[in-house]
Structures are given as C-alpha cells and as structure tokens.
C-alpha cells in the first residue's frame, strides 16, 4: 500500500466550479459525491487517487493555497491579481474568459482623457489602484463595492467602475460602455510553493494531463 498523502484542491464556488470538475473528469478524475447539489458537505474525497476537494468563496482560494490548507487551487486571474498571495500560477485553464475593464457612461471618456481626479467603484480595489496609480499615473478615489458595481455611475456614487465584462450585456442594458481595458482574464491553476517541491511528481503529472486535454479541446 502506498503511503501517499491526500492532495487537496480548493475550487472557487460559482461560475468556475462546474467547468473545473468537467475538465478533471475528462482526465479521469471524478468525484461523484460533489455532484449532489443538495449536499451540505464541504469536503469530498477521491480515494482512488488520494485527492480531496473543497469548494470555497473565490477570493478565499488563494488564501487556502498560500497557507498550504490546499495544495492546488482553481480561481479567476482577477482574484489572483486582487488577493496578491504567495502562490505559483502554473496553468491557464482557458475557460472563464472575460476582461477587466474601466466602464462608465460615454461622458466619462473626457474625465479619463484629462486625468481628472475621478471616483472609481469596484469589487477589485487593488486592481483598480494598480491600474490607475501605477500604470496610468492618475490619482483617483477608489470606492469598494461588493457586487452590482454597475450601479455606481447610475446612482452617481462614482464616475466609472472597474469590473468584469464578459458578454457586455450588463453594460448595454444599463447605458454604460467599456472605456478602457485593464487586462484579459481566465481561470488559472495555482499551487502552494512548498507543495510544488514536496509533491512535484504528482503535480507535474496532473498539470501535464490537463495541458494535453486542453490541447485536444483547442
């Protein structure tokens, strides 16, 4: 019998979880109990491969991985940039594609052009700060929101927002538009730096298998 320890995965709840599990299934890693939508269980085990999975709030995934509570995490690039944790980003999984953008009413274009001291609402204050202060050298006031960020300019809380744009329909339906693109985003696999050394073989094999599968799909 092997003395293998469990390799633990933290997966972001929500949009990315289903796609992540589908991808794992394609390379032969299944976790049947995780598919039960009614379960309140938090940790799921695959005994065959000695794997454990848990679902966490997206922004907590890099935290679990940095502290080694999970060896591996799957989370959006936006969350990696915002949380700025000590983790290795090892793979772009190619799904969950969207863009981080500065958005607002068309009238805000002038404010951006003239580097005015504007108000920026965002669920991603660190990304917004990095973009305006370090990339654009523009002083702005950043207001942290926790969702429905498009409300910001609509109710005159802010001049613009920094938020995720996928199809653009939320913007369109609210009379807003993309004013500047901050960066492209997609789901990424992250690894704890110590696990990367201690479990190098297993992690390398897993990353290799996923990479092959992604090539087949492309």
Ligand X SMILES: O=P(O)(O)OC[C@H]1O[C@H](OP(=O)(O)OP(=O)(O)O)[C@H](O)[C@@H]1O
Please say which residue, 7 or 153, places its beta carbon nearer to ligand X: 153
Applying CB under 6 A, does 78 fall inside the site for ligand X? no
Applying CB under 6 A, does 206 fall inside the site for ligand X? no
Applying CB under 6 A, does 2 fall inside the site for ligand X? no
Q: Which helix (H) or strand (E) holds 114?
A: none
b/e sequence 60-73, b meaning 16+ C-beta within 10 Å: bbbbbbbeeebbbb
CA distances from residue 30 to 23, 34, 37, 79, 195 in whole angstroms, order as listed: 10, 9, 15, 26, 22
> Minimal distance in Å, beta carbon 203 to ligand ATP?
22
Select from ligand X, ligand ATP, none the partner in contact with residue 169, using the beta carbon and a kind-dependent cut-off of 5 to 8 Å: ligand X
Q: Report d(CA 39, CA 29) in Å as an integer.
A: 20
In 57-124, DSSP assigns E strands to 72-76, 88-92, 98-104, 119-122
**Residue from 42, 147, 197, 201 in contact with ligand X (CB under 6 A):** 147
Choices 3-11, 68-76, 147-155, 193-201 (CB under 6 A): range interacting with ligand X: 147-155
The answer for residues whose C-beta is within 8 angstroms of residue 116's C-beta and 6 or more apart is none
Which of the residues 83 through 122 are near ligand X (CB under 6 A)?
none
Q: Is the dihedral of CA 121, 124, 126, 131 positive or negative?
A: negative
Q: Report d(CA 101, CA 19) in Å as an integer.
A: 24
Select from ligand X, ligand ATP, none the partner in contact with residue 12, using the beta carbon and a kind-dependent cut-off of 5 to 8 Å: ligand ATP
The answer for residues whose C-beta is within 8 angstroms of residue 192's C-beta and 6 or more apart is 65, 66, 67, 68, 70, 71, 72, 87, 88
Which of the residues 31 through 90 are near ligand ATP (CB under 6 A)?
58, 76, 78-79
Q: Report d(CA 200, CA 111) in Å as an integer.
A: 50
Select from ligand ATP, ligand X, none the partner in contact with residue 112, using the beta carbon and a kind-dependent cut-off of 5 to 8 Å: none
Choices 13-21, 36-44, 64-72, 150-158 (CB under 6 A): range interacting with ligand ATP: 13-21
Choices 19-27, 29-37, 48-56, 145-153 (CB under 6 A): range interacting with ligand X: 145-153
Residues that bind ligand X (CB under 6 A): 147-150, 163-170
Residues that bind ligand ATP (CB under 6 A): 12, 14-16, 58, 76, 78-79, 96, 98, 147, 164, 166, 185
């Amino acid at each position: 019998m092997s003395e293998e320890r469990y390799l633990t995965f933290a997966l972001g709840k929500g949009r990315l979880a289903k796609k992540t599990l589908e991808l794992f299934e394609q390379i032969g890693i299944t976790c049947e109990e995780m598919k039960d939508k009614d379960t309140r269980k938090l940790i799921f085990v695959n005994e065959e491969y000695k794997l454990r999975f848990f679902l966490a709030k997206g922004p907590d995934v890099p935290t679990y991985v940095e502290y080694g509570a999970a060896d591996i995490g799957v989370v959006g690039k936006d969350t990696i940039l915002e949380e700025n944790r000590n983790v290795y980003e090892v793979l772009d999984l190619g799904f969950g594609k969207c863009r981080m953008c500065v958005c607002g009413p068309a009238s805000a274009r002038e404010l951006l052009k003239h580097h005015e001291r504007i108000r920026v609402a965002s669920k991603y204050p660190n990304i917004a700060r990095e973009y305006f202060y370090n990339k654009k050298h523009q002083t702005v006031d950043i207001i942290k929101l926790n969702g429905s960020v498009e409300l910001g300019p609509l109710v005159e809380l802010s001049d613009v927002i920094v938020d995720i744009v996928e199809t653009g329909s939320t913007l369109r339906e609210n009379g807003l538009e993309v004013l500047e693109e901050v960066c492209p985003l997609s789901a990424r696999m992250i690894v704890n730096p110590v696990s990367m050394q201690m479990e190098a073989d297993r992690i390398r094999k897993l990353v290799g298998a996923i990479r092959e599968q992604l090539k087949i799909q492309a």
